[in-house]
Structure 1
Amino acid sequence: MNELLGLVSNVGFPIVLSIYLLTRIEEKLENLTQSINKLNNVISRIETK
């Protein structure tokens, strides 16, 4: 928590908020990419039948 407060005081709130949101969104985007790839594989299997 002290590190977070130190960052806010040194580089500013918008930069810290941007970094926080980017790290949270990155994991969700990876999960979404995996789901899209799985869906693509299922659709490919259905089309070949």
Structure 2
Amino acid sequence: MHEMVSLISEVGFPVAVTVFLLYRIEAKLDAVIESIQNLPERMKGI
């Protein structure tokens, strides 16, 4: 039982950090995708 608690405590923190970072990156990637999709319209105005 102690081994399981140790494993969860060792693996749990990195998993939580990874999920948090992936969530933040996802929001930024959405903004980049939207900018790229709008780029042709913005280039027509130049």
Unaligned regions of 5+ residues in structure 2, if any? Answer: none
Structure with the bigger RCO (C-alpha within 8 Å, sep 6+) is 1
CA RMSD of aligned residues (A): 1.8
Pairing of 1:16-35 with structure 2 (within 5 A): 16-35=9-28
Instruction: Report % sequence identity.
Output: 7
Amino acid in the other structure paired with 2:37: S
Deviation at 1:47, TM superposition (A): 2.1
The TM-score with structure 2 as length reference comes to 0.67
State which structure, 1 or 2, has the greater radius of gyration over its C-alpha atoms.
2
> How many residues of Structure 1 are paired with residues of Structure 2 in the alignment?
41
